[in-house]
Structure 1
Amino acid sequence: MILTLALLSMVSLLMAGAVELWWGSTARQQRRRSAEFIERSLASRAHVAPPLPAVAAGKPMRSQALPTDSLFLRAGLPTGWRLPVQLAMLGLGLAWLGAWRIGTLWAMPVLLVAYSLLVWLWLRGRIEKQRRQMIHQLPDFLDGVVRLATIGNSLPMAFQTASSTVPLPLRSVLDRTMVSVRSGMDLDQALQLASQPYRLEALQLLQVVLGTAVRIGGRADHIVQRMSDFMRDLDQAQHELRAITAETRMSAWVLGLLPVAVAIILSLLNPAFFHPMFTESLGRKILLIALVMELFGGFLLYRLAKSL
C-alpha cells in the first residue's frame, strides 16, 4: 500500500507538470503562428528570401548541455550541471534525514515529492520576479534607443549604445544579442535567438519591429516610442492588478501549502504521532485520501488564482 502511495505521489507530480504545460500550449501556439505570419509578410513585401537559420546567419551557438539551462536562465541562475546536482543531493539528504527522524524509509518518497514541489515553487517565484524586472526595464531602454535614433544614429547603433547602460537582468539578453550581431547576424535574428529562453512577448514584439525596420525601412523610432509608452502603461496596470488581487492570491497560497507544512512539521517534531500513518493499513489509507484531497484542493485554488 505504501508503495502505491509513493507511486501515486510521483504520478501526481508529473500530472501537475503536464497540466501546467497543457494550459500554456494554446498561448505558445498562438504566438508561434503570429510570428510565422509576420515573417512571411515581411519576406513577401521586401521580395527577399526568408531569414536564414541562426546557425547559417552567424556564428553557431553552443548547444545547451542540459535541458534545465533554459529554465535556470529564466530564473536568473547559473547554467550547467552543478546546480541541478546540488539541488538533487540536498533533496536526497533532507528526505533521508526526514525518513530517519520519522522512523521509516517509506516516508522518503513523500518527502521527495514535497521537496520537489518546494523547488518548483522557488523556481517559479524567481522566474516571475525576473520577468517583471525585465518588463519594467524595457520602456527605459526603448526610450534611450529612440533618443539616439532621433539624433541621427542608425537603429542597430542606437540599440548597441543604449544597451550598454541597462542594468541586469535585461542587460544579459542585450549582451547576448550584441555578441551575435558582432558575429554577423542581423539585429532582429540576434534578439530572437537571445530572448528565446526567456519567453517574453515584449521581446518578441520588439524583434518583429526591428525586423521590419531592417528589411523594409521607415520610421521605426516612432513605433518603438509607441511600444515604450504601451509597455509602461501595461506595467502600471499589472502592478495595480497585482495589488488588488494580492489578498486572494495570498489566501490561495496559504490554504494550499498550510496542510503540507503542518504535516511535515508535526511528523518531524513528533515522529510517534505520524509513524502509524506509514506502518498501519488504516493510516496509509488516510494518508492516501489526504493526498488526493490536497491535490484536488490545490488544483481548485490554482484555477481560482489564475482566473483573476
Structure 2
Amino acid sequence: MTPLLLGSTALLLVAAAMALWWGLATRLQQRAAADHAATRLTQPETRVSADELRNQRPPSKRWQDLLRRAGLTPSARTVVLLVVPGIIAGVGAGLRLGVAGFGLFVLLLYFLGIGLWLYRRMEKMQQRLVAQMPDFLENMVRMAGIGNSLSMAFQSATQNVEPPLRPILDNALTYTRAGMDLDRALQHAAQSYHLRPLEMLAVILGTSIRIGGRSDQILQRMSDFMRDLEEVQRELQATTSETRMSAWVLGLLPIVAGLFMALASPDFFQPMFHDPLGKKILLVAALMELGGGFLLYRLAKSL
C-alpha cells in the first residue's frame, strides 16, 4: 500500500499542476483581450489593467487576496489554523513510523489537501459571485432605463445586492467617493477576486463614461448571456458528476487506505523505505499510479 500511497500523492500533484497549466492559457488570453480592448477605448495614461494591479501588490497582500477568494478571513489566525495541524500530523506520522521521509510525505499530503480544499472554496465563491451578477446587471439596466446615469444606476442597484457580491460593490463606491472613476474603482475593488464579469463590467462602464453609447443594451445582453451560461454549466455538472466523483474516489482510495495501514502497522512498511528492492517497488508503483491517474483525469476532462 505504501507504493500506492506515494504514487497517489504524486498523481494528485500532477493533476493539480495540469489543471492549473491548462486553465492558465485560457485565462491569460481572456484577460489580455479585455485589457487590449480597454486600452484602446480608454485613455492610456489613466488606464491600469487588472493584471498590473494584482502584480503591484506585495506577496503578503496576495496571500490575503487568496484567502478572500476562498471566503476566509485574511488574518494570521487563519494561517496558523491551516498550517499547524499539518505540522503536527507530519511529526506524529514520522515518529509513528520511525522514518522522517514518511513524516515529510504526510506533511506534503496535508498541504496538498489544503490546496485542493482552498481551490474548491474559491470555485464555489466564484460561482456565487457570478450567480449574483445577472440580477445586479438587470437592476442597473432598469435604473438606467428610467433616466439615471450609469453611476447612479450602479449605486442604486448595489443597495439590492446581498453578500458576497455586496462588499465588493460597496468598496467600489467608497473609491468613487474618494474621487476615482467608477470603472477604475470597480477594478480596484475586484482585483482580489479575479472575477471576469466584474472586469468586463469595468470595461463597459469606462467605455460608456468616456465615449457614450447604449451601454444598457450591452449590460442586458451580458446578463442574458451569463444566465444561459450558468444554466449550461449546471447541466454539464449534473451530467458528469458521477464520472468525476468516481475518478476522485479511485484516486483518493489508495492514499487513504495506504496511510491508514502504514500508521496502523508501521513495522510492515519500514522495509519499503530501507530495502533497495522496496525503493524500486515504490518507484514502479508511483509510475503506474501516475499513468492510471492521468487516464482518469483525461476521462473526466473529456466529458
Q: Deviations over 1:250-273 (max 9, x none)?
A: 111111111111111111223233
The residue identity in structure 2 corresponding to 1:30 is Q
1:34 equivalent in alignment to 2:29: no
Contact 2:247 2:296 in 1 (8 A): yes
- Where 2:161 maps in the other structure, the secondary structure is coil
Structure 1 residues 260 and 74, CA gap change in structure 2 (3 angstroms): same
Q: Deviations over 1:11-43 (max 9, x none)?
A: 988766654443233223312331232123313
- Where 1:245 maps in the other structure, the secondary structure is helix
1:170 equivalent in alignment to 2:165: yes
Q: How does 1:77-116 map to 2 (within 5 A)?
A: 77-116=72-111
Structure 1 residues 124 and 170, CA gap change in structure 2 (3 angstroms): same
How far does residue 112 in structure 1 lie from its aligned partner after superposition?
1.4
Contact 2:10 2:286 in 1 (8 A): no
Alpha-carbon distance in 2 for matches of 1:188, 1:257: 45
| Range moving further from structure 2, 76-85 or 94-103 | 76-85
Q: Deviations over 1:15-72 (max 9, x none)?
A: 66654443233223312331232123313xxxx5543449xxxxxx985634322221
Contact 2:95 2:103 in 1 (8 A): no
The residue identity in structure 2 corresponding to 1:255 is L
Residue 245 of structure 1 is matched in structure 2 by 240
1:222 equivalent in alignment to 2:217: yes
Q: Which runs of 5+ in 1 are unaligned?
A: 1-5, 55-60
The residue identity in structure 1 corresponding to 2:136 is F
Contact 1:13 1:113 in 2 (8 A): no
Residue 134 of structure 1 is matched in structure 2 by 129
Residue 53 of structure 2 is matched in structure 1 by none
Q: TM-score of the superposition, structure 2-length normalised?
A: 0.85
Alpha-carbon distance in 2 for matches of 1:127, 1:39: 26
Contact 1:102 1:275 in 2 (8 A): yes
Residue 149 of structure 2 is matched in structure 1 by 154
Greater RCO, CA 8 A, separation 6+ = 2
Q: Decide which of 177, 180, 202 is 1:182's aligned counterpart.
A: 177
Identity of aligned residues (%): 49
How far does residue 246 in structure 1 lie from its aligned partner after superposition?
0.7
Contact 2:94 2:102 in 1 (8 A): yes
The residue identity in structure 1 corresponding to 2:124 is K
Structure 1 residues 237 and 200, CA gap change in structure 2 (3 angstroms): same
1:76 equivalent in alignment to 2:71: yes
How far does residue 220 in structure 1 lie from its aligned partner after superposition?
1.4
Q: Deviations over 1:129-167 (max 9, x none)?
A: 111111111111112212222222221122122223212
Q: TM-score of the superposition, structure 1-length normalised?
A: 0.84
The root-mean-square deviation of aligned C-alpha atoms, in Å, is 2.8
| Range moving further from structure 2, 154-163 or 82-91 | 82-91
Residue 3 of structure 1 is matched in structure 2 by none
Contact 1:9 1:110 in 2 (8 A): no
- Where 1:184 maps in the other structure, the secondary structure is coil
Contact 1:146 1:221 in 2 (8 A): yes
Contact 1:101 1:271 in 2 (8 A): yes
Structure 1 residues 14 and 253, CA gap change in structure 2 (3 angstroms): closer
The residue identity in structure 2 corresponding to 1:199 is H
The residue identity in structure 2 corresponding to 1:196 is Q
Alpha-carbon distance in 2 for matches of 1:36, 1:144: 26
Residue 187 of structure 2 is matched in structure 1 by 192
- Where 1:226 maps in the other structure, the secondary structure is helix
Q: Which runs of 5+ in 2 are unaligned?
A: 1-5, 50-55
1:305 equivalent in alignment to 2:300: yes
